[in-house]
Amino acid sequence: MTLRDTPADALASASSATLHEAAGRKGALPSAIGPAFTGARVVGPAFPVASPPGDNLWIHRALYAARPGDVLVVDVGGGTEFGYWGEILSTAAIARGLAGLVINGGVRDRDALADLGLPVFSTGLCIQGTGKDFDATGSLGERVRIGEVFVERGDLVVGDADGVVVIPRADTESVLDAGAERDAKEAELMRRIRAGERTLDLYGWA
């Protein structure tokens, strides 16, 4: 089963923290990467992009190389103090049917991004503009590294208020199943805690 064949309800209920735990505490992107506006949540297959620092021409190119439903996962090579993405790119991404953006750099136009609603995850907000160097080297659809996580095309990307996790494509089904089991166990634990049982006893730490 590919990610695009995964039932929508299985993806809709998946949280970044649960999937990180279900994957053996793997796949968490750096904690600096978070939602650009309240309520942003992204789920979909990764489309990796390598962009030169301070330049967003390769990001523009990625919009038209990625497939509808893809999440752009952009490595800017350490150039975090630039606003690589804003209202225009979100509008173009929506027109292309993309699922969202994850970038280890800055974005801008936060209020407009929130109004548009396309999920955007970044290291923060930055008003400093970017260039367009036609001779600069980048890549589309090829593996990138974000923090300690290697991201391949088609990997599962889940981002929410807690952060972003990337699950390898081959592990998606098993991790989603393990995540659902974990959620069910936690729901039962919370029921017992509300009934008065102690966490120390429930976890065997007493």
Q: What is residue 97's three-state secondary structure?
A: coil
Expressed as residue numbers, the domain containing 80 is: 3-202
pLDDT at 130 > cutoff 60: yes
- Give the pLDDT band of residue 139 (cuts 50, 70, 90): very high
- For residues 115 and 4, what is the distance between their CA atoms, to the nearest angstrom? 27
Average pLDDT over residues 72-87: 96
Output the pLDDT for position 140: 98
Cα 156 versus chain centre, distance: 9
pTM equals 0.92
Output the pLDDT for position 124: 96
Output the pLDDT for position 86: 98
- For residues 144 and 137, what is the distance between their CA atoms, to the nearest angstrom? 14
- For residues 44 and 71, what is the distance between their CA atoms, to the nearest angstrom? 6
CATH number at residue 121: 3.50.30.40
